[in-house]
Amino acid sequence: MLSRKSFMTLPPCAWLAFVMLCLNGSVWSAPPTIRVGSKAFTESVVLGEVIAHLVRDAGFGVQHRAELGGTQIVWQALTSGEIDVYVDYTGTIREEILADAIRNGVKINSEQDMRSELAKQNILMSKPLGFNNTYALGMRRPVADALGITTVSDLKQHPKLALAISDEFVARKDGWYQLVARYALPQTDIRVMEHNLAYRGLAEDAVQLTDLYTTDPEIPFYNLIALEDDLGFFPAYEAVLLMRDDLAQRAPEAAQAILRLQGLISSDAMASMSAEVRLNRRTETVVAGEFLNRELNLGVELPQTTAAAVALRVAARIGRSTVEHLFLVTISLGLAIAVAVPLGILASRREAFAQTVLGIVGVIQTLPSMALLVFMMPIFALVNLGIGPAPAICALFLYSLLPIVRGTYLGIRQIPVAMRESAEVLGLDARAQLRLVELPLALPSILSGIKTAAVINVGTATIGALIGAGGYGAPILTGIRLSDTGLLLQGAVPAALMAIAVQFGFSCLEHRIVSPGLRGQS
């Protein structure tokens, strides 16, 4: 009994400590001087690259943690010190970041009010960068012309339009539902879609109206019209830098360099940079570098674009994704085995405990992975690991529990009573019975639980890219954002191959460690 208990409690703690050390240490990257963040849309990633070039030019090391999901994730990363700077918009700051303060009676009437409120949280807000990227509702011009729609109010006459609204716009406090209320729109049936997929739907006429950003390059490309906001619902979305105030002390030259962006980027410049990336398929790094070389005479060295250099970069990216993905999967699976096998053994001993444990891990299994990730972030932010692999590993660990606990529990429970009694009457004590008889007999079932968990992990780990955990999810996410199927496949194909390799690996392992006497039994 005692030994089983210590087996239960000790190794997971030790494991966790080990993982924390790994994550803080060298596994992920060399300690960067300045860490830049960006949200998961092209404009934000381009601006992140622009900042990165400026910082590098000022002589600092830099790490760009790109495509970190939405506002909440990036803001949390900034306040917890996992990134130093990113670009956000005044409208977003007012409606999302300072929403609680405003509800509590703080008056935000000017940019200066906003600045001083943010300063209380040790965040500096720069002057506007020069462009306003607000929300609008958009339609294809021929469709809008045919229906005679030019303003948002005109939508009242057309309740049957097919609408696709981006998840971020639906969730915003100045988003879809407030707009509907303000304009008294009749449309209630909307489809919630990822922003870039909504554009595709629009192009294919599957969708007739969606929300858009006014600097999106798709507006001219797809011949869209942004409906006039005739009631003045949308607030201004001036782009500004949000920077931790300790950066100015830690690296004043870097902070100075970043602030050169104030007033530097016009709406046209921004739209044309986004168009270069989204429509001409050039990388954010190159587009951002060219912009700085042009505007500030910076002399950023641009990556080579010969076929060989590109192929090398692709190979390097797949290699890096593979290492990151394997890291996520193996650590989470290792932790899960260390916890779930003892849990399954305990469950096989006590039926009441079994029902409780299987109930709990079963419920965990039903939680949507994105929800679980976002739930993990604030917890891990307490130890400065809110973004990156730690929350992803934790979520994968939780998802792995059910198949392994179940496999262990069932594997032991299905051992015939006569077998159990034979072991007992031989004179083996409880530990020896477990080690010499029960576990070897349950091994095929335990292994198949672990195999299921591993395959699920390989697939689910792709979602870790949303919070900067890397892995095969990163090219998939970027591929979706840029409608770049090739890039998407750079993540999807290796992920599928890895799942197959895991299956094969476990078959070999099973052949090696399961007794030949048990073959064909399970």
Partner 1 sequence: MFTLENVSKSFGSLQVLEPTNIRFEPGKSTVLIGPSGCGKSTLLRMMVGLIPPDAGLILFEGSELGPSNLHQMRQRMGYVIQDGGLFPHLTAFENVSLMAKHLGWVSERIQGRVIELAELTRLPSQSLTRYPTQMSGGQRQRVGIMRALMLDPPVLLLDEPMGSLDPLVRYDLQEDLLKIIRTLNKTAITVTHDMGEAGFLGDHVILLGDGRIVQQGKLDDMVQHPANAYVTRFVNAQRIQGLGGNSPC
**Contact positions toward partner 1, by CB under 8 A?**
418-419, 421-429, 432, 436-437, 440-441, 443, 514-518, 521
Q: What are phi and psi of 279, to 5 degrees?
A: -100, -35
Supply angle C-alpha 243, 248, 251, rounded to 5: 110
Q: Residue 299 or 516: which CB sits closer to partner 1?
A: 516
Q: Residue 266 or 515: which CB sits closer to partner 1?
A: 515
Tell me how far apart the alpha carbons of residues 438 and 348 are, in angstroms, rounded to a whole number: 11
* CB of 384 closer than 8 Å to CB of 326: no
Q: Residue 299 or 427: which CB sits closer to partner 1?
A: 427
In this structure, what token pair is assigned to residue 140? Answer: 């294809």
Q: Residue 181 or 436: which CB sits closer to partner 1?
A: 436
Query: Which string of DSSP letters, residue by residue, matches 124-163?
Result: EE----S-B--EEEEEEHHHHHHHT--BGGGGGG-TT--E
CB of 278 to partner 1, least distance (A): 59
Find all residues with CB under 8 Å of 71, minimum gap 6, and list them.
39, 88, 92, 96, 97, 168
Question: Residue 253 burial (CB < 10 Å; 0-12/13-18/19+)?
Answer: exposed
Q: Residue 185 or 437: which CB sits closer to partner 1?
A: 437
CB of 514 to partner 1, least distance (A): 8
Q: Residue 246 or 424: which CB sits closer to partner 1?
A: 424
CB of 428 to partner 1, least distance (A): 6
Task: Tell me the C-alpha to C-alpha distance, in Å, between residue 299 and each of 45, 54, 274, 306.
Answer: 21, 10, 21, 20
Q: Residue 296 or 428: which CB sits closer to partner 1?
A: 428
Q: Residue 13 or 418: which CB sits closer to partner 1?
A: 418
CB of 414 to partner 1, least distance (A): 12
In this structure, what token pair is assigned to residue 359? Answer: 């109930």
Q: What are phi and psi of 243, to 5 degrees?
A: -135, 140
What's the alpha-carbon Rg for the chain, to the nearest Å? 27
| β-pairing verdict for 190-193 and 163-166 | parallel
CB of 7 to partner 1, least distance (A): 19
Tell me how far apart the alpha carbons of residues 299 and 18 are, in angstroms, rounded to a whole number: 43
CB of 407 to partner 1, least distance (A): 17
CB of 423 to partner 1, least distance (A): 7
Q: Which of 208, 77, 78, 92 is nearest to 141 (CA)?
A: 208
Q: Residue 351 or 424: which CB sits closer to partner 1?
A: 424
Residues written for the chain: 522
Tell me how far apart the alpha carbons of residues 516 and 522 are, in angstroms, rounded to a whole number: 12
DSSP symbol at 259: H
Q: Residue 119 or 419: which CB sits closer to partner 1?
A: 419
CB of 437 to partner 1, least distance (A): 6
188-198 per-residue burial string, b: 16 or more CB within 10 A, e: under 16: eebeebebbbb
Residue pointed to by tokens 């607030």: 235
CB of 419 to partner 1, least distance (A): 7
Dihedral sign computed on CA atoms, order 193, 194, 195, 198? negative
The H-or-E segment that residue 225 falls in is strand 224-226
- Which residue type sits at 209? L
Q: Residue 148 or 427: which CB sits closer to partner 1?
A: 427
The H-or-E segment that residue 363 falls in is helix 351-366
CB of 412 to partner 1, least distance (A): 13
Q: Residue 320 or 431: which CB sits closer to partner 1?
A: 431
CB of 440 to partner 1, least distance (A): 5
CB of 2 to partner 1, least distance (A): 16
Long-range CB contacts for residues 415-420, cutoff 8 Å, separation at least 24: 415/441, 415/442
